[in-house]
Structure formats: C-alpha cells, structure tokens
Amino acid sequence: MRHLILSAAIPALLMGACATAPVATGAPAQQSAQRGPAPHFPRDLTPAGVAAADDHLALEQVDGAEAQAFVAEENRKSLAALTGDPRYETFREEALAILTAEDRIPMPSFLGDGIGNFWQDAANPKGVWRRTTLDSYRTAQPRWETLLDIDALAKAEGKDWVFKGADCLAPDETRCLVNLSDGGKDAVVVREFDLTTKTFLADGFNLPEGKHRIEWLDRDTLLVATDFGAGTMTESGYPFIVKTLKRGQALAQATEVYRGEQGDGGYGVSPAVYRDKDGAVQAVIITRPLDTFRSETWELANGRPVKLATPARVSIHGVLGGRLVFSAEENWSFGGRERRSGDLLAVPLAALRGEASASAATTSDAAELVLRPEARQAVSDVRVLSDRLVVAYTDNVRGRAAVFSDRGGQAWGRVDIAVPDNLAVGLGDSSKSRGEVFVSTQGFLVPPTLSLADADAATLTALKSAPAKFDAVRDVTEQYEATSTDGTKIPYFITRPRDLAMDGTAPTILFGYGGFQISLNPAYKPEMGKLWLERGGVFVQANIRGGGEFGPDWHQAALDGNRQRAFDDFAAVARDLERRGITSPRHLGIYGRSNGGVLTSVSITQHPELFNAAVIESPLIDMLRYHELPAGASWIGEYGDPRIPEEAEWIAKYSAYQQLRPEVDYPRAYITTNTRDDRVHPGHARKFAARLGDQGHDHLYYEDTAGGHSNDADPVANARRWARHYVYLAQQLMD
C-alpha cells in the first residue's frame, strides 16, 4: 500500500536566542467588556435557547438565498477594498510566481520502482500526477511521465476536480485508488486507476462522493468505511461500520466485518492494512474513535475483530515484527509496567490481544520502550521499516532524528542522524523494501532541503535544495519566552530585520493555532517572506498550549474547561512583544485559520486593546452551536459538549459570536472562508461578520466559491488569497 498525501506540511524552525519574560498581568478579557452580558448572549444555554437567541440562523444554509445574497454583497465591498488597493496586483503577481515556480522541490513519494509526484503550475493549475525514476529524480531536470492530467480530466468531464491523493496496492503499485474532490471538499469520489495503461478501469472500483475510509485488502477486495445508507453515519457525518467490498460488488452487497456505534465521535471508524516489504499483510487494525482523541483499537484476525488493550489516547504508527508501534498519549499501565504520556512503544500484538501464552513470554520493559521524550521534547513523526524505526522528534522545538533498530527482546539500538542544527526535521514517504525515508529540513529563513535517509547507515544524502524566494540577508530569527497568566513559559519565534528599531512601531503578524496537538514548527514561508518580510514586516509564531510542541500534556493542558489557557498564552505573547519594544497594539495583527479562527476571534473579543488587525480564516466561531454544524460534533473531545449545562457555561464565556458588544472598539477584522468547506462550516464566518455589521463594527468579509478547507485546489486562486491577506495586513499595520 502506498498513500500519496498532498496536504501534510513538513515542519521546520529556525532558532535563536532564548530569554524569559516577566509574569503577564491582566484579566482574561478586557475589563470594560465584562460589565453585564453581551446583547446577544443567550439567557438559556440549552441548544434551543441558543438557537432562539441567534438572529442569523439563515446564514447556516450553505446555498440558501439569504445566505448567498449576504455573501454577494459582502464580497462586493471587500473586493473593492482589497483588490482595489494599488498593492494588490503586485502582491498577487509575486505570490503567483512563488506558487507556480518551476524551481520548487517536487515533493516525492515512492511509487513502485520509481518516484511519484503531484505538480501544479501556471500551465496546469489543477495539476498533473506524474512519475520518474529515482536516478532521474536526482538530476536537475528529471524526465517526468504524466500519469493523470487533472486539468484535462476536469475539462473533459465538466467538473471542478481537485486531486486528493492516491492509494496504490503494494508490492507492484500499479493499481491505485484515485481520490477526486469536486471543488476541494473533503468528500471525494474514488476511482480505480491502472498505472500500466494510465486509464481508469471501466469495471474497476468506483465509489460515489463521500467521506470514505478505504484500504486495499488484496487486489480484488477493499476494506471500506462509508455511508452505507440510512443510520450508518455518526452525528458528525462520519462512518462507523467497516465492510469488505469485492470487485464487481455494489456497496449494498458489501459484507460487514466491524461495527462501532452511531454515537461514536471523532472522524469515523478507520481501517489500516500494514504490510511487510514484499506486500504481505502483517496486520489489519481498525480504530474506533470514541471522541476526538479517545479510541478503541481492534485487530481484524481471520475476518473477526479482536479488541486490543491499547491506551485510550494513542497514535498508531505501524507494525514491526509482530509488534504494534504506537505513541501513548496518556499515562498507561500494561503488563505490570507504567508508561508515560508521550512514550514511543513497540508492544507485541499477542500481548495486546491478552493471549495467555504471550503474557509469560512478553518482551522486556526495555524492548517495548523505544523512546521516552524529555520534558521539552516530543515525538513528531515515525516511519516503520522492516527491522527499524526512523523517528523525528523536537527538542525545545528544534528538529532531531534517530534510527532505532529492533534487537529482538533487548533494548532498542539507537543511532542519531546528523541533521543541521536549529532547523526543523520532517519525515516524508518511506520504502520498506529499500530501507529509505525522504527527510526535509528547513527554517524561517532557510529554504527546504530534501534528503534521502538510509536507515541502515543512519545517514542523509541531499537530493534537492529549494532556492531562496525572498531576500533574507537583513533578517534574523530568535526564540523567546513569554510568561502566561498562570506562570507557564510560552515559547515563540520572531523573524525580524536585524537592525529593527525597538521603538514599538514594527508592523507585526502574530500567528497561532493552539489545538488538536498540532505543533507549529516554523516553516519556510516564501509568500510571507516576499510580501511581508521584504517590506520591513515582522513575523511571530507562538507555540501556545493546545498544540503538541511538548507532547500530549502540552495539548491536554488546554482541553475542554481549560481552553482559556490557550487564549491567555496568546495574549501573553502579544504583551511580551510590546514589552520588548518589537511592536505595539497599533502595529500588531494576528492570523489564524480553522481552530486558529477560534483563537483569533476570541482574542479580539477578549483583548481588543492588544491588536489592530485580525485575519480570521476558515474559522470556528460560534462555539455554542459548532456541534450542530457539519462536522462539528467530531471535535467535542477538544472543546467540550455545549449540550451539557456545565460545559456550555465555560464554552459560552469565550464563544466570540455571543460575546460581541456594540460599545467595544474592535480592530477592523478580515473574516474569510469558502463555500465548499465541508470540514468547518462557512456559517461560522458568515454569522460573525453579520453580527459585526449589525453592531456597527467596521470589518471585511470574503467568501471564495471553491477550494475547500485546505485551499489546495488551485495555485492561481491561492495567489489571489494571499494577496488579499497581505493587502489587508498592510492597510491595518503599515499604512
């Protein structure tokens, strides 16, 4: 099996000096904003009471007449303000040149005997799926063979197709399941593609649009979790039933092999087939999510599911030598031994099944424990090969890598891989048969270098280096720490001009996320460097709680009722920037998307005095109704359940949509989303913009019509998107 993943960004960072700030002071929200309830704050926090207090429910109808009229008028005003700016066309051209540049690194995946790549440029904005040999890939001008032209396919079929990756059956990898999205949605249609003939098979597997979870079992059988009809999807809109689908069968004829429950949370039940280097199946693992982060792990053995005794919070990386390789995301007791949250483990499947014969012969403590990160460390990625693991981890948000070899019941052998210091390290695709892994290193001011790691030798061989896309000679990156309200040290990175006058006038973007255990390991952001840094701007990236920079505990510190900690951390960084003389509220703007939209919308409602700009993109904002909007209920494990009175009370304290007040002087915000975003409903952004307008607050709202949540549909459209962002930020922070 080979997955070609298109949307996973490889993390990076550039380190500098580290310092500590004094304890931040101040209340969690602006004091003047706490005098009595906001005018649209529900008197009744039940779902019915929240809905009754909402005067913009019509904007939740994605294609409703009132909603579309609202979008059209808001787009008209915003485009006039943004694209009418004399800087817009320059920004758009510069962004487009970067996004379609021919000298970008073509990110590779192992594909059969060769290398696969998906490529978008000005001539093929929807992209081409192509392949070459590894020897050719090493050259400056690889000779590519086109497998599938998405632009030509979209034109021929009259569809707005967006390529969402392919899954090819090992070991030959000539039969592939191609995922195509209409307009960039998460939901895809799946078609079987033959790489030898470069055609879709007329009698091949063909699944209608849906949020499928699919794996090859063998050449004529798939494991499928999808919408099998009424009553087969969770309230979040994800599947909870797994079936085997034989070649030639319709979905209605598939055979059930596993069933969760309709009340399950998370992103739906998911099958995974792990194979050895020759393509033989080692294990079939099914993950049943109970909520966003807790799950049950099952093994499908001889067609029958067996529950495994894994931790409830777990990240599974693969199977090696009969052992399940996973990261424990909570403290865990097993076989009389205690494991810590964050440990990387390799535990025999037989022991996890509870087989009596395995209990007596279970491996030693040292053999099961692969890596225990230290206090400021975290495992970031793992690749499972035939007899060893390649592990990327962070040490105070600096990238490291090592190879761990299986020594059969003894402590794992470890050899560190020499990587450049003060950069991020990201793992790409891997090949068990070759014992190789693609590795990327990069920093804020250091363009990416792609290397090939030989796991046997624990060495890196550089393959390609991206050229610089902006002039970074006069800039420097430093790492500092702010102190949050409860005394916790919050690291953040500043990229700024070396000769910056510390007088508080620097136009500064503060970027954050703070959720879902996602680490913000700073990457080389060429469009930011060209459109912002080259014009004297400062870029700051905050590693607030809720992320995974220091492992599961860093994430779980801001879950549920402790969510306020993430917002306090972000505000503490803003204050620390002012204290250091980097910037001031007049010149400080914030940017966040998706969960970062929670962060930015809350930040301007709790602390409008700290900021003069906010780009709020593809956001969650109405946190009292987020579970009602697809696919919101899947995130209850992150935010809590507004249907439970106790939890609704602490969610309501920060939900920005309900907390808006007409008398507060908010910064002129730019809210933007996508009509075809089926991950975070566009109703969040629409309603927030509408209420800002109702209360007389100046704002901009723009809604694109295609692209989906990940904004990966079209580099031409993406160039316009970045130009709008930076025009707005320049207007607010530079003018």
Q: What is the pLDDT of residues 128-178, one digit of tens each?
A: 999 999 999 999 999 999 999 999 999 999 999 999 999 999 999 999 999
| Predicted pLDDT at 271 | 98
Active site residue ranges: 594, 709
Query: Could you read off the pLDDT of 99-116 as tens digits, one per residue?
Result: 999 999 999 999 999 999
Query: In the prediction, which pLDDT does 365 show?
Result: 67
pLDDT at 20: 31
* Confidence (pLDDT) at 319: 98
Cβ neighbours of residue 486 under 8 Å, at least 6 residues apart?
565, 568
Looking at residue 10, what is its pLDDT? 31
pLDDT at residue number 33: 42
Q: Tell me the three state secondary structure of residue 635.
A: helix
Q: Find the radius of gyration of the CA atoms of the chain.
A: 25
**What confidence score (pLDDT) does residue 225 get?**
98
In this prediction, residue 12 carries a pLDDT of 31
The per-residue pLDDT for 363 is 52
pLDDT of 713: 72
Length of the chain measured in residues: 735
| pTM for this prediction | 0.92
pLDDT computed for residue 273 by the predictor: 98
pLDDT of 22 = 31
SS (H, E, C) 176-219: EEEEEEECCCCCEEEEEEECCCCEECCCCCEEEEECCEEEEEEC
- Which of 603-629 are b and which e, b meaning 16 or more Cβ less than 10 Å from the residue's Cβ? bbbbbbbbbbbbbbbbbbbbbbbbbbb
Low-confidence ranges of the chain (pLDDT < 50): 1-33, 359-361
Q: Please enumerate in sequence order all residues whose Cβ is within 8 A of that of 559, keeping only pairs 6 or more positions apart, or say none.
A: 546, 637, 638
